[in-house]
Structure 1
Amino acid sequence: MTAQPELARIAFADLARHGDRPAVYTPDGVLSYRELASLVDHVAARLGTGRRLVVLAARNDLDSLVGYLAALSAGHPLLLAPADKPDALASLMDAYDPDVLLRPGDGGGIPLLEERRRGTRHELHPELALLLSTSGSTGSPKLVRLSQANLTANAEAIAEYLHIGPEDRAATTLPLHYCYGLSVINSHLVRGAGLVLTDLSVVDPCFWDLFRERRATSFAAVPYTFDLLERVGFAGKDLPHLRYVTQAGGRLAPEKVRFWAETGQRRGWDLFVMYGATEATARMAYLPPDLAVDHPESIGVPVPGGTFRIEPVEDLADGELVYTGPNVMLGYAEQPADLALGREIHELRTGDLARQHPNGLYQVAGRRSRFVKIVGLRVDLGQVEKIFAEMGITAAAAGSDDGLVVAVEGDHDGGMLAKTLAGAIGLPRAAVVIHPVEALPRLATGKVDYPAVLLLAVGAASAAPAPAPAAAAARTAAPAGAAEGPAPAGPAAAGTDIRRIFMDALECSSVADGDTFVSLDGDSLSYVAVSVRLEQVLGQLPPDWHLIPVQELERRRKPKRRRIVSFLETSIVVRAAAIVCIVATHVELFMFQTAHLLFAVAGYNFARFQLAEARRPRLRRQLRGAARIVVPSVAFIALAYLLTDHYTVANIFLLNAMVGPQEVTTQWHFWFVELLVYILLAMAALMAVPWVDRWERRAPFAFALGLVAIALLARYDIVDPGLPKPPPVFWIFALGWALARARTHLHRLTVSAITLLTLPGFFNSTVREATVAAGILLLVWVPALPVPAVLRKVTGWLAAASLYIYLTHWLVYPVLLPINPVLAVAGSLVLGVGYWALCRWLPGAAAGAWARRGAALRRTPGSSAARNAS
């Protein structure tokens, strides 16, 4: 027995200090911090004060949460294991012989306690608090030893960069026994935030019902989660309280990072891409969400309190990433005697090859060792081969983020071996593929050719599926002379296809009419595999297909058709249509004046994208957003000033609206950009005021209506805004802000009523007022609009480039108009999109040139850079 540790260092275990704040939300009720603390104290008292080794068979329920916190608060070193994997639990029990076993009970918050001995037979180091399998994997006997200081430091760091506050509520989408899932719990408890405790999958509609009902503000995801989210239509879900989504547990492809980051920008939430390992108590780096679109390949910057260095690796361009910080583990444990050890390491060699870019961001380029991460679990490929060796089978294991591929020599039952291996290492069955081969593929040197092993899965996927046994038997029994041909394409054939898909993917011997994907124990990986194959048979699947009986799916079979219409978010379509109308109006091809509608869109997007973070990071983000408008505008207007005599120096510095002439001249061409910049800067300054920030967060819709009311004073000439010419436009911007904050039917009716009451008479043009009103009402009531599939990309380009088209068209259309007005409009749109593309390309090109210059300097003998690197 060892001395009691200093428990105060586990900050998130001090629950009572948060009083009656809501701590845990379940489908059945809400538990306050005071009530949670009472349950924890009760279980802690049963565990006793003498330190013992405790194993918790955990799942995402109140009993497990209370057991976890009770062990930590009482100072007992805790080993977490999955409750739903009895083989893994038994293996840990045999290896470490714990003194106490905690299991989930009836869900009332009191776990079942099995006391295996009164005291302890282990020597436990005073700092030891938690034992976790490496990165959630049970494929290796090695455990990570974490201290009280590790847990607190990482929880505080995560809470800091995610800006977690008492009003936040995280849904538990990941297992408690997995370090990523556990970090969500710790980081919220340390700030007195709430947990929406559930074991429901994101593919279950009940999860999203609970998410909305409990007003959850975040959830965590591993790469495969995003495939599931795409299939359930997450991008279109109305989740008014969602603030951010985090991603870790393996590399998410850069194109997917960019897609989901852009989706979050449109829908009003942030994507935090994160990097870490169990050895660092979960988290080492994060990518600030405002950088995700432009740098989707990056892991970002170190978490608060941590630092990186890159150690050169012989014969490799990239070095090994080494992390230092207060969250670095004490060391590993491979046997009970190791539990007495103290700190053995002070920095973590990640095994990842990395580089640092000139902008300070880090990028992982590959791995040094033979570990792969699959659905967030790190799998030791050497351990996999050892498992087969113990069975007397020669095997070679390879893998990627997509799954594990094992080649085995000899005539074996691949399905049975895959099922056995999946259970042994804790992976979903659908993530494991076994290939019996006559001999393992080898290189000329005699070493195993692991890339060839990995390609076995590719070959199998591209090969035609083998005929079903019943079909083969039918052909064998066919009378002589009978013609062979395709099976009839009627309902019976469809049914056979659908049932065979379920049987193959879920390893079922039979599928009954009433069976569903869920009732057949489908998991997150098999969900994607089954849905992809079902789409080939059924066409587009309903969102809840996994809950629909097989018999009903068979009745829904429809011939596949090429989609001719797709849907885009309304604000995107409105922006694209508005800029086309602006150019066409100036060319006088047709008259639909829509510039003011873009102010409503700007306010709508400002409220969705610029108000989610804490005050200081939000101010930086708002100023960066304004800079993205100012820099390309100033650059182009300066060029226009040099090429023409239409503009003045005041135009270059966006000051014409303040000092320009009263009469309308060419100097007023850029009035829209100037007023938009003024508004954005004024709003950034306003929201930097602490009490204003608090008011907006507490009552977002009421705050927006207050802005509309104040702005209407200028609309009705009660207050003079002091600008020489343009009519007041801030009230339209504020109206867009209000519609972004409209969460209920009554809110939307209110915004609609204000629109219809205040627009008439503003322009002295009924058509113009009706056009702007129609655009605003579309934003209020219609979340997405149909667009011909062939125009989907073009619409997106026009919307994204609307500012650039507005800037450039003043110089383009006068040149082309004498030739043809349609050509003038088209040319203006194309040149504007081109300028937008150029502005997007230039920062990356400049950063790449800077990086190449830095690399060249480092390679130059005798240079200062080379000396500093040595």
Structure 2
Amino acid sequence: MFTALVEHLASRGNHAALLTDDRLISYRELADRVAASASELGSRRRLVMLEARNDVDAVVHYLGALAGGHVALPVSDGADHAAMVDLYDPDVVVRDGTVHHRHGPAHDLHPDLALLMSTSGTTGSPKLVRLSRTNLAANADAIATYLDVRPTDRAATTLPLSYCYGLSVLHSHLLRGAGLILTDHSVVEDRFWELLKRHRGTTFAGVPHTFDLLDRIGFHDMSLPHLRYVTQAGGRLAPDAVRRFASLGRSQGWRLFVMYGATEATARMAYLPPDLAHDNPTSIGVPVDGGRFELDPVDEMADGTGELVYHGPNVMMGYAQSPGDLALGRTVDALRTGDLARRTPDGLYEVVGRLSRFVKLYGLRIDLQRVEAALRTAGVDAVCTDGDGVLLVAATESLAGADVAQVAARASGLPRSAVRVLEVDEIPRLPSGKPDLRGVRALAEHTTTSDARALDLRTLVADVLHLDPATVDPRASFVDLGGNSLSYVAMSVRLERALGHLPADWPRMPLRDLEASRRDRRRWGTTLETSVALRAVAIVLVVGSHAGLYTLWGGAHVLLGIAGYNFGRFCLTPLPRAQRVRHLGSTLAWIAVPSIVWVAVALVITDDYTASNLLLANKFLGPDDSMTAGRLWFVEVVVWILVALALLCASPVADRVERRWPFACACAVLAAGLLIRFDGFGFGRDAWFTVLAFWFFAVGWAASKASAGWQRAAVTAMLAVGIVGYFGNSHRELLVFTGLALLIWLPAIRCPSALTVVAGVVAEASLLIYLVHYQVYPLFGEHRLLGVVASLLTGIALTMLLTVARKRIGPRLPGVGVTAPARR
């Protein structure tokens, strides 16, 4: 097919080739567009880097590169490929459907070379797999043969085309004249299934995580009359899942193909015939047509177990680690998989372990040695392995309070919820001194709590976040599930009561790890997060000072710092950029909407506000000479800061910078805020409550990203520089400095259980208390204490009513009630 690609496509005539939400492109039209793309790329061979999205333009340009004899380098959409561009210097870059010629042909490309692929998602490496046209054609034909792909088949693109598995679906189906349903929708979205049914889809592909999602969305109850087969690869699917889905397919009229492969084999090396899946769920099956396995003996391994070595026409030409390697011919004849395997009496192959330190999770190949090296750099003695679909990290007590799971997640490229940390006194080792990986897995199995035991935490989280408990993944964290600064107070108080303590960084811990951390609650008192305690104290100081019960100013500025602290914790998370922005938008909405509603009510029943207050823009639009002009300054500042940061977070460049240097980025923003505070940009003192107050928010942001002692000291020093002389009142400055210093240095405090509950209730209601107290306390005249108490109780009552309303309308609002993130 790849030697005469355009002719092959044209020979299929008007049969449907590509189907989208709103388009159908025939094979004849596809052939014309591929020919035009090949012509646009030029007649001389070029290295073409393409952003491989699941859309028509990406498919056309990819096929155009192959048809024109060029070398294609597909890369993931939206990621930072600057390092790849710098190293390999592609002649052409295709982005957003547009061809950018960077320069003329500048590479010596081997005549057989057709495709360069990243090694199944390996992170942090310039290594690419070199694949020939023979590799592509042989593997596409083998896959199409054992799947029995027919012209009437239509496959949904559930995987990115930058991943060898996703690309193999394209190759094998185009080879047989089948259709491709192009979509980026996840299997958890209704639109995916609507599209599959509308286009009479017959198949889709999945990695193990995809099948976890299918379990959660009720796939077993779906009516899919046209579904013929489902394929699985990208890592080991649990044996019980293989049995369940094989049985489900048998009962519903479709077949499950469990497959084994690697990018180095152009995709597939083996498949498990569907009729054998139920009784052989641990097997990888038999070699694909044209391929064969051999077992290379390994010392100290018995029962015929050895390293699995694959031979076949789909074995890669070799690796490339620099542009000079693109001129090389074949450098390997067989693929040493690094897997330990055995051959069963009935001729099936079964993988029983690994020789190397790579594992495959979430479709990514993870270098465990690289993760362990990153942990050592952070001062953590640890050993890593895989187990139960997650990365297991057995670690001794970390130095300097290092967040073991966060370090491991960043080094591996996995989401935080896919890392499970096992605290050990010392690393388990074999008599030889090598790490005992089986011992680590056994420890994980011994300490893992069942889903039934974790159900109470799932129900608790679902109640706080207004989710269906059945959709809450025990591997997900509070942040993964959409938790934010508005819901964490209620969650922290209820979690402490459930667990008997609050673990460090609990918002990012998987729920099942939280469940495993239960403690004996008989000791005195409970744990209360300092941010919650400060929030409760600060709002009481604000209300009491305004009512004239006492004079202790500065509470609102402490609240502003807490707002920044929560922004750093709950908005700048490891989630994808789009989900970050959605979470931030949701937080912004739940602050702005109640504020606007209350101002509208107050406009009707009082003379306290003006139309500019309704827009939360009094400090921008005036009037600035009314008695109540500054009443809502705190809400205005928070809302407009969040608006600005939402726009900033939406920028791919800003997103990449913050992820790479979170603490440095926060400190840079704080430094800019301090420059504004000292009028370095000439804003003038009229901006006191708006622009100049931003630096308090930035202090909280930096505090949330400070993990080491020197980092906390640096933030404290910057706080001290900014606070001195800010108010012209040393008592007020001392109060604000003390509150924010506690936020920086003291994550939690011990206090009586009753006080924890009261502080949590007051802190959760702090926004509405702030909004309503201006209208409530004046009703009590000189009875100032009654006015303060009434303001607090009114805000608490309204918060409870708002919580009930959120439970009813939350699932209907975008960004509210987000379930566990779907990663493909």
TM-score band w.r.t. shorter chain: 0.5 to 0.7
2:169 counterpart of 1:184: yes
Aligned to 1:635: none
Aligned to 2:536: none
TM-superposed CA distance for 1:385, in Å, is 3.0
Which structure 2 residues correspond to residues 30-429 of structure 1 after superposition, within 5 A?
30-86=24-80, 89-103=81-95, 105=96, 111-120=97-106, 122-317=107-302, 318-388=305-375, 396-400=383-387, 402-406=389-393, 410-411=398-399, 418=405, 422=409, 425-429=412-416
Instruction: Write the distance in 2 (CA, Å) between the matches of 1:220 and 1:395.
Output: 35
TM-superposed CA distance for 1:14, in Å, is 3.8
Q: 1:141 to 1:494 in 2, by over 3 A?
A: closer
Q: 1:149 to 1:495 in 2, by over 3 A?
A: closer
Aligned to 2:711: none
Kept in 2, the 8 Å contact 1:139–1:380? The answer is: no
TM-superposed CA distance for 1:383, in Å, is 2.5
Instruction: Write the distance in 2 (CA, Å) between the matches of 1:497 and 1:265.
Output: 30
433-442 or 489-498, which moves further after superposition? 489-498
Deviations 1:110-138 (A, max 9, x none): x1223222221x22111111111222332
Which structure 2 residues correspond to residues 667-686 of structure 1 after superposition, within 5 A?
none
Aligned to 2:682: none
TM-superposed CA distance for 1:337, in Å, is 1.7
What is the aligned length? 491
Instruction: Write the distance in 2 (CA, Å) between the matches of 1:9 and 1:358.
Output: 41
2:478 counterpart of 1:503: yes
Kept in 2, the 8 Å contact 1:167–1:193? The answer is: yes
| Matched residue type, 2:337 | T
Instruction: Write the distance in 1 (CA, Å) between the matches of 2:449 and 2:378.
Output: 30
Instruction: Write the distance in 1 (CA, Å) between the matches of 2:120 and 2:514.
Output: 31
| Matched residue type, 1:411 | L
- So what's the TM-score if we normalise by structure 2? 0.54
Aligned to 2:717: none
Instruction: Write the distance in 1 (CA, Å) between the matches of 2:425 and 2:73.
Output: 42
TM-superposed CA distance for 1:324, in Å, is 1.2
Taking only the aligned residue pairs, the percentage that are identical comes to 53
2:12 counterpart of 1:18: yes
Which structure 2 residues correspond to residues 439-478 of structure 1 after superposition, within 5 A?
447-450=434-437, 462=449
Deviations 1:31-89 (A, max 9, x none): 11122222222222221122222222222222221221121111221222211332xx2
Kept in 2, the 8 Å contact 1:50–1:119? The answer is: yes
Aligned to 1:672: none
- Partner of 2:49, secondary structure, is strand
Q: 1:208 to 1:368 in 2, by over 3 A?
A: same
TM-superposed CA distance for 1:425, in Å, is 4.2
258-267 or 448-457, which moves further after superposition? 448-457
Deviations 1:533-587 (A, max 9, x none): 99xxxxxxxxxxxx99999xxxxxxxxxxxxxxxxxxxxxxxxxxxxxxxxxxxx
| Matched residue type, 1:96 | Y
CA RMSD for the aligned pairs? 4.1
Instruction: Write the distance in 2 (CA, Å) between the matches of 1:38 and 1:134.
Output: 32
Instruction: Write the distance in 1 (CA, Å) between the matches of 2:405 and 2:514.
Output: 21
| Matched residue type, 1:319 | G
| Matched residue type, 2:105 | G
Which structure 2 residues correspond to residues 826-865 of structure 1 after superposition, within 5 A?
none
Instruction: Write the distance in 2 (CA, Å) between the matches of 1:460 and 1:73.
Output: 55
Deviations 1:154-190 (A, max 9, x none): 0011111111111100001111111111111100011
TM-superposed CA distance for 1:414, in Å, is 5.4
Which 5+ residue runs of structure 1 have no aligned equivalent?
Answer: 1-6, 106-110, 465-485, 514-525, 535-546, 552-870
TM-superposed CA distance for 1:191, in Å, is 0.9
Aligned to 1:764: none
- So what's the TM-score if we normalise by structure 1? 0.51
Q: 1:128 to 1:296 in 2, by over 3 A?
A: same
Aligned to 2:22: 28
| Matched residue type, 2:331 | E
Instruction: Write the distance in 2 (CA, Å) between the matches of 1:527 and 1:30.
Output: 43
- Partner of 1:219, secondary structure, is strand
Instruction: Write the distance in 1 (CA, Å) between the matches of 2:225 and 2:240.
Output: 26
Aligned to 2:656: none
| Matched residue type, 1:338 | D
Kept in 1, the 8 Å contact 2:394–2:440? The answer is: yes
Q: 1:489 to 1:272 in 2, by over 3 A?
A: closer
Deviations 1:774-795 (A, max 9, x none): xxxxxxxxxxxxxxxxxxxxxx
Q: 1:176 to 1:530 in 2, by over 3 A?
A: farther
Q: 1:423 to 1:83 in 2, by over 3 A?
A: farther
Q: 1:365 to 1:531 in 2, by over 3 A?
A: closer
Instruction: Write the distance in 2 (CA, Å) between the matches of 1:424 and 1:489.
Output: 31
352-361 or 221-230, which moves further after superposition? 352-361
| Matched residue type, 1:510 | S
Kept in 2, the 8 Å contact 1:136–1:179? The answer is: no
Q: 1:13 to 1:246 in 2, by over 3 A?
A: farther
